Amino acid sequence: MRKNSWVSNSGQTRPFSDRLWLVPFLASLLVTITLLLACAFGLFAPFYGGGDSVLLDVISLTSWEEPDKYFVESDVRSKALFSNSTDSGSDSDDGAPRIAYLITGTKGDGLRIRRTLQAVYHPRNQYILHLDLEAPPRERIELAMYVKGDPTFSQLENVRVIAKGNLVTYKGPTMIACTLHAVSILLKENLKWDWFINLSASDYPLMTQDDILHVFSTMPRNLNFIEHMKIAGWKVVQRARPIVVDPGLYLSKKFDLVTTTEKRELPTSFELYTGSAWVMLTRSFLDYCIWGWDQLPRTLLMYYANFISSPEGYFHTVICNSHEFQSTVIGHDLHYIAWDYPPKQHPLTLSSKDYDKMVKSGAPFARKFARDDRVLDRIDRELLRRSEGRFTPGAWCAGDGGADSCSVTGNDSSFQPGPGAERLKGLMAGIMSQEYRKGSCSNLAYDQSKRKWVNRTRT
Ligand SMILES: *[C@@H]1O[C@H](CO)[C@@H](O)[C@H](O)[C@H]1NC(C)=O
Ligand SMILES: *[C@@H]1O[C@H](CO)[C@@H](O)[C@H](O)[C@H]1NC(C)=O
Ligand SMILES: *[C@@H]1O[C@H](CO)[C@@H](O)[C@H](O)[C@H]1NC(C)=O
Ligand SMILES: *[C@@H]1O[C@H](CO)[C@@H](O)[C@H](O)[C@H]1NC(C)=O
């Protein structure tokens, strides 16, 4: 400041004489003394506030209380995570949640998809049906005609059929692409939903939607159900090290994955997680994955393009490496799945002898079933009270007397929970416990057959 006043004053007073020079000199001397006194009395900061830009930066940086608000990410993040119902598309009219289902199948699965759809149908929910490219066009058209012809679906418009089937390679990244495709449609159409569940034609519910929606009404809406564990053991060798190329990305016919002879090292900038391909994810987490406003989901999607069994790792790795969503993870896939043991790679086909275990598990869904297996009829009869070709009845069915009470749609936010709700509450009590949640995204191993976290015995 002293220097500034000297320069400007001398500029104005040229040509200068001894006397003219003396006045500004005395003035600046006075200023200097004042400044020094000010420093001594602790008034330093206000004086420098307007003067020295370098010092200003240092001072203001240290005085930032919320540095976050100066960066774009924090803004996007808080909008995505905490926005109230209206613009996030979830529901605000009443407390009950809505679920978006993706039901996928391949050639010959048209009728099974219909049956699964009828069993999980509820007017509050959204449904996307996908028959992959291997299914002949006729089958897809038949499915679309069925949806179009059903009076309930055409009235409520909550069932959609993907017209252009995706080519999906078993264990390949095209499976992820297909799931993300369905999620994008759900977001783009601005539909109301809180959770996304993906099912295949060989999945079946073990309780009614009334049971499920009733129990989830009381749950925090930010929980992501995704069975996961840090990658270890044989999976490192057989999943993380191989490099594969998915022909579904560039060929128009189905072929197996191509494996290269090169192996790769484990990544160092993120941790790999693996688990079940069956998930129940929140809208805000999927928003984050689809929009990619944080680079992590996109980077990982590229990484997983060459990963074997990517549906068993992509969402798991994204969520456990993301600081915002890590704490929302519940390590369960809400399915009853009987694994072969060892090597736990293929789920066994369920039949009547598994009925009791299935019911006892409290899981809302089970897989996998053979087409029209007798146990499905028993589930329809005893658990869903559904008759053939009809919807699973619930409190929304307002028809009176007639053969099909669900032909008239009543109040879709009232539920009639039955014994299924009690079973699901039992399951939830276990997996929501602090003890169980502590294992999420940790170093603990997960015992898939016992469904619990265990210490690693060897790495
Ligand atoms: C969302 O709405 C609830 C209740 O209406 C309110 O308590 C909460 O503060 C709101 N949250 C935000 C981020 O606006
Ligand atoms: C979603 O569902 C399909 C159903 O066939 C499955 O193959 C896929 O692996 C699932 N998971 C993900 C993450 O895409
Ligand atoms: C629908 O049911 C819910 C829950 O039972 C109730 O709060 C609401 O008032 C009902 N709506 C109508 C229009 O009857
Ligand atoms: C794992 O081991 C630690 C220390 O030995 C123990 O405190 C912890 O309870 C164990 N966790 C589980 C899930 O067994």
Q: List, for residues 12-54, the tens digit of each pLDDT value.
A: 445 455 566 777 777 788 888 877 776 566 555 544 444 455 5
| pLDDT higher than threshold 80 for residue 86 | no
Q: What is the mean pLDDT of residues 346-362?
A: 92
The SS3 call for residue 369 is: strand
**Residue 84, ligand 1, Cβ within 6 A:** yes
pLDDT at residue 39 in the model? 59
pLDDT tens for each residue of 163-205: 988 888 888 889 999 999 999 999 999 889 999 999 999 999 9
Tell me, in angstroms, the distance from the centre of ligand 2 to residue 350's CA: 19
pLDDT tens for each residue of 394-453: 999 998 867 788 989 999 999 999 999 999 999 999 999 988 888 899 888 888 778 888
pLDDT at residue 448 in the model? 79
53 or 214, which is more confident?
214
Instruction: Take residue 172 and report the two structure tokens written for it.
Output: 């390949």
249 or 88, which is more confident?
249
Of all ligands present, the nearest one to the C-alpha of 409 is: 3
Distance, in Å, from the CA atom of 288 to the CA atom of 79, rounded to the nearest integer, reads 11
Of all ligands present, the nearest one to the C-alpha of 455 is: 4
Instruction: Take residue 237 and report the two structure tokens written for it.
Output: 């060798």
Q: Which strand ranges, in their side-by-side order, compose the sheet holding 99-105?
A: 159-161, 126-131, 99-105, 195-200, 273-282, 224-230, 329-330
pLDDT at residue 46 in the model? 47
pLDDT at residue 330 in the model? 94
Half-sphere exposure of 255 (CA within 13 A, CB side): 13
Contact (Cβ atoms closer than 8 angstroms) between residue 266 and residue 272: yes
pLDDT bucket at 59, cuts 50 / 70 / 90: low
pLDDT tens for each residue of 265-299: 999 999 999 999 999 999 999 999 999 888 999 99
Q: 366, 389, 361, 390: which is closest to 379 by C-alpha?
A: 366
pLDDT at residue 50 in the model? 46
CA angle, 317 as apex, 313 and 319 as ends, to 5°? Answer: 125
Contact (Cβ atoms closer than 8 angstroms) between residue 375 and residue 393: no
Percent of the chain at pLDDT above 90?
Answer: 58
Minimum mean pLDDT among 146-155, 337-346, 369-378: which range?
337-346
pLDDT at residue 10 in the model? 44
Phi-psi region of 401 (alpha: psi -120 to 50; beta: other; left: phi over 0): left
| pLDDT higher than threshold 60 for residue 75 | yes
pLDDT at residue 421 in the model? 96
Residues in the chain: 459
Burial zone of 404 (CB within 10 Å; 0-12 exposed, 13-18 middle, 19+ buried): middle
Residue 441: phi and psi, rounded to 5, are 55, 25
Distance, in Å, from the CA atom of 395 to the CA atom of 459, rounded to the nearest integer, reads 51
Of all ligands present, the nearest one to the C-alpha of 90 is: 1
Residue nearest to atom 5 of ligand 3 (CA): 414
pLDDT at residue 57 in the model? 54
Residue nearest to atom 2 of ligand 4 (CA): 455
pLDDT bucket at 237, cuts 50 / 70 / 90: confident
**Residue 414, ligand 3, Cβ within 6 A:** yes
The pLDDT mean for the chain works out to 85
The SS3 call for residue 291 is: helix
Of all ligands present, the nearest one to the C-alpha of 104 is: 2
Mutate to test the pocket of ligand 2, among 101, 175, 308 (most ligand atoms within 8 A of CB): 175
Q: Which helix (H) or strand (E) holds 253?
A: none
Mutate to test the pocket of ligand 1, among 74, 81, 84, 92 (most ligand atoms within 8 A of CB): 84
Q: What are the residues whose beta carbons fall under 8 Å from the beta carbon of 114, sequence distance 6 or more?
A: 143, 146
Q: Closest ligand 4 atom, CA of 439?
A: 13
Q: Closest ligand 1 atom, CA of 82?
A: 13
Calculated CA dihedral for residues 150, 153, 157, 161, nearest 10 degrees: -70
Distance, in Å, from the CA atom of 221 to the CA atom of 280, rounded to the nearest integer, reads 11
**Residue 453, ligand 4, Cβ within 6 A:** yes
**Residue 86, ligand 1, Cβ within 6 A:** no
Tell me, in angstroms, the distance from the centre of ligand 4 to residue 453's CA: 9
> What residue type is 333 in one-letter code?
D
pLDDT tens for each residue of 357-403: 999 999 999 999 999 999 999 999 999 999 999 999 999 999 886 77
**Residue 457, ligand 4, Cβ within 6 A:** no
Q: What is the mean pLDDT of residues 63-79?
A: 65
Q: Closest ligand 4 atom, CA of 444?
A: 13
Distance, in Å, from the CA atom of 347 to the CA atom of 65, rounded to the nearest integer, reads 53
